[in-house]
Chains A and B, each alone.
Chain A
Amino acid sequence: MSEPEWGRLDPRMIVVRPLNELIGLLPPLAALVFFGNVDTWRVVTGASVVGLIIVYGLLSWLTTKYRITETQVELHKGVVFRQRRAIPRDRIRSVDLTAKLGHRAFGLSAVRVGTGQQERTPGEGTVTLDAVTAVEAERLRQALLRKVAHSEDESDEGVLISQLDKRWYRYAPLTLSGFITIGIVVGFVMNLASELDFRFSEVGAFRSAFGWVSHADPVRVVPVAAVFVIVLSVLASLAGYLLQNHNYRLTRQPDGTVRVRRGLLTTRSVSIEEKRLRGAVLHEPLLLRAGKGARVTVVTTGLNKIGGSSLLLPPAPRVEADRVAANVLAVDETPTAAPLTKHPARAKVRRVVRAVVPTVVVAGVLLLLAETADWPTWPWVVAAVLIPVSVVLGLDRYRNLGHTLTNDYLVARSGSLDRTTVALLRNGIIGWKLTRTLFQRRARVFTLTAITAAGSSGYSVLDIGDKQGLDLADSAIPDLIGQFLVKA
C-alpha cells in the first residue's frame, strides 16, 4: 500500500481552499456590500482579491504532491518558494486530522503529521497535507501510525475513555472564553466600521443606547451594563464550547495511540502515540475551580503548541478530569489528585509579598498623580481596594503550592487565577535546572525545573524549600544530583 507514485491532493481543493479563505472574508465582504458606500475601487479590489485567491488555489494544487514510501513521507509544494520536505516514518509521533467547514462540505480533511522534534519556529517539524478525502485521511492516519500496513477494519472505534456529557456545558461560562470572544468581536467590528466609514451614531438603536448610557444615573447604568455583558459572554462561551467540543470522544486505539475527536463545524482528530506520552496537565482557572471543574492537556513529544491540539479533555468535572488523566497515563491512582507536600512557610511570605507589592506600587503612583497632577481620585481608590484582594490571592497561591512523587510521576501544583497541576513522567525528565534569586536565597527556597523534551519543555516546582527540593530531585531521578550533594 505504500505506493511509490506521487499522490496529489484532492482536486476539489482548488475550490475548497479559496472557499475556506472566502468564509473568513465573508463578514467583511457582506459589510462592504450592505453598509459601505460602494466605491468602484472597493468593488474592484474586492473582486481581484477573490480572483487572486482562486488562482492561488489552482497553482498550489498543481504544485503540491506527496508520497509515502516504505521509509518516509515526502511532500513537495510551493508556488513561489518551492519546498521539499521529507519525514522518516519511524519519527512520526502524531497525526492530526482537521476538517474546516469548507473541507466538510466536500468530504475532505487536512492531515498534519508531527515528529518528536520540538519546534522553534511553527511548522518546523510537521508535514501538512491540505487536503485529501476523509477516507484517504483515515487510511493515512492508520498507515502512518501503525508503521506496518493494515487495511482491514477501517472504522475501528477503539476503547472509549471519555465522551461529551451534556451536563459539561455548565462549565463553559466558567472559562471566561466568552469575555475574550466578545472582546475580539467588538474589536473586529470597530475596526471594520472605521474601515468602511460606518458611523454607529447613524443607527437609531445605537444612538439611543449611547444616549442612555451617557446621561442616566451611573448607579443604574453599571448593573445593567454588567448583566448585559455577562449574559452575552455566557452565550458566547456556550456557543464556543459547542463549536469546539461537539461530539467529543477520547478513545484508546488498538494501534497504541490515544485519539481525541471533537468539533461541530471544524472537526479535529488528534492521535497521540502512547509511547510518547510524558504526562498530563490539569488546568483549573479560578472560576472553573470554584465550580469543581477542570480541563486536561497532554504532555507529549511531537505535538505543537499552536491550535490547541494538546487538549485531552474540555472543561469537565474535576473527578472526570482526574479519571481521564489516570486512564490516559495508564496508572491506577491518578497522579493529579495525589496528596501534595506543602512548601515551607517562608514561601508564603514570598507569594503574599509578590502579589501585594505591585498593587501597592500602582495605588501609590495613582495617589501621587491624584495629588499632584489633577488625576481623578477613583483610580487610586480602586487600586487601594484591590490590596486586600491581592493578599487573599497571595495566600491562595501559597495554599496551592505543592509537589509529590508517585511511582512514575513527578507532580507539581502552582497558581491561583490559573491553577495548574502537572504530572510529569519521571523517566521523561532529561535534566534539572535550579534557579535562585537573591530573595529566594534569603528565604532558603529555590525553583526546581524539570527539563523534558515534551510539552512546554520545562515544568517548574516553585519556591520549594532547599532541603525538600534536593530530596525531591534526588529521589525523582536517582544517580543524577546525588553525586553532587555533600553533608552540610
Chain B
Amino acid sequence: MSESEWRLRAPANLVSKRAVLLWTLRAAIFWAVVAGAQAVVLLVVDGAPRWLRVTIVVTAVVGVVHTIVMPRWRYRVHRWETTADAVFTRSGWVTQEWRLAPISRIQTVDTARGPLQQLLRLSTITVTTASAQGPLKIEGLDAEVAARVVDELAATTQATPGDAT
C-alpha cells in the first residue's frame, strides 16, 4: 500500500429525482397517520389526557422536519453502479450503508413497484445472493432505467458460471 490514503468512492449513478417526492410522500403519510390517530383520540374520547396535546405538537414538529430533511439528505446519499463484475450501492441518510456483491454470486434480480412508485413511474431493483442477510436494493430508479439495468444484470449473470454460494 502506498503512503496516501485510499478512499471508497461513491457509486457513479444517482437515483431518479422523483425519488425525493417518493420519500417525501411516504414520510408525510406516516406522520399524518401518527398525528391523526392522536388527534382523533383527543377529539373523540372524553377526558383524554392533557399530555396528548404536547405529544401532538412534538409529533407535528418532528414530522415536518423529518419530511423536509430526510428525502433531500437521502437523495444525496443514494447511489448505485454496476460494472462488468460487481454491483455497488450506497443508501441510508444518518446511518449509511455501502453494499458490494460480485456478479458471480448473484442469484436473482427482481423489480418491484408499490402504488406510490407506480404513480411516480419509479421502480425498486432487488438483487439477491445466496445469503439470508438482506438483499441489495436500489430504490427509486426511473422505471425505464430499472428495466434496462435488470436486463443487463440478467445477461451478465447468465454469462458468469458458478453456483453462487
- Is the C-beta of A452 less than 8 angstroms from some C-beta in chain B? yes
Q: Which of B71-126 contact A (CB under 8 A)?
A: 81, 83, 85-86, 88, 92, 94-102, 105
Closest to B2 in A: A487
- Is the C-beta of A301 less than 8 angstroms from some C-beta in chain B? yes
| Nearest CB of B to A377, in Å | 28
- Is the C-beta of B157 less than 8 angstroms from some C-beta in chain A? no
- Is the C-beta of B8 less than 8 angstroms from some C-beta in chain A? yes
Q: Which of A457-488 contact B (CB under 8 A)?
A: 457-458, 466-467, 470-471, 474, 477, 479-481, 483-488
A483-B6 Cα distance, complex, nearest whole Å: 11
CB contacts (< 8 Å) of A198 on chain B: these are: none
| Nearest CB of A to B61, in Å | 21
CB contacts (< 8 Å) of B98 on chain A: these are: 432-435
| Nearest CB of B to A228, in Å | 44
Contact between chains at B133 and A479 (CB < 8 Å): no
| Nearest CB of A to B99, in Å | 5
A438-B9 Cα distance, complex, nearest whole Å: 18
Contact A485-B8, Cβ < 8 Å, known A433-B98, A479-B85: yes
Contact A431-B94, Cβ < 8 Å, known A452-B131, A470-B6, A481-B8: no
Closest to B127 in A: A431
Q: What DSSP secondary structure best describes chain A's contact surface?
A: mixed
Contact A467-B5, Cβ < 8 Å, known A301-B165, A436-B96, A483-B86: yes
1/0 per residue, CB under 8 A from A, across B1-14: the answer is 11011111101000
Closest to A473 in B: B100
| Nearest CB of A to B140, in Å | 20
| Nearest CB of A to B137, in Å | 12
Contact between chains at A484 and B9 (CB < 8 Å): yes
- Is the C-beta of A451 less than 8 angstroms from some C-beta in chain B? yes
Contact between chains at B133 and A458 (CB < 8 Å): yes
A488-B5 Cα distance, complex, nearest whole Å: 6
Choose from B97, B102, B133 the contact partner of A434 (Cβ within 8 Å). B97
- Is the C-beta of B34 less than 8 angstroms from some C-beta in chain A? no
Choose from B4, B85, B86, B133 the contact partner of A433 (Cβ within 8 Å). B133
Interface size, A (range): 35 or more
Choose from A449, A467, A487, A488 the contact partner of B133 (Cβ within 8 Å). A449
CB contacts (< 8 Å) of B8 on chain A: these are: 434, 470, 481, 484-485
Number of A-B contacts (CB under 8 A): 111
| Nearest CB of B to A299, in Å | 12
CB contacts (< 8 Å) of B94 on chain A: these are: 437-438
Contact between chains at B96 and A435 (CB < 8 Å): yes
- Is the C-beta of A430 less than 8 angstroms from some C-beta in chain B? yes
Contact A471-B100, Cβ < 8 Å, known A301-B165, A434-B8, A486-B9: no
CB contacts (< 8 Å) of A220 on chain B: these are: none
Contact A430-B9, Cβ < 8 Å, known A436-B95, A481-B100: no
Q: Which of B1-58 contact A (CB under 8 A)?
A: 1-2, 4-9, 11
1/0 per residue, CB under 8 A from B, across A22-44: the answer is 00000000000000000000000
Contact between chains at B88 and A484 (CB < 8 Å): yes
| Nearest CB of B to A405, in Å | 14
- Is the C-beta of B164 less than 8 angstroms from some C-beta in chain A? yes
Contact between chains at B165 and A453 (CB < 8 Å): yes
Choose from B7, B99, B105 the contact partner of A485 (Cβ within 8 Å). B7
Between-chain CB contacts (< 8 Å), 27 pairs: A116-B165, A301-B130, A431-B129, A432-B98, A433-B99, A434-B99, A435-B96, A435-B97, A436-B96, A437-B94, A451-B129, A451-B131, A451-B133, A453-B129, A453-B130, A458-B133, A466-B7, A467-B5, A470-B8, A471-B6, A477-B102, A483-B86, A484-B81, A485-B6, A485-B8, A487-B5, A488-B7
A sample of 9 more A-B contacts (CB under 8 A), given A479-B85, A487-B7, A488-B5, is A428-B165, A430-B105, A433-B100, A435-B97, A453-B129, A457-B131, A484-B8, A486-B6, A487-B5
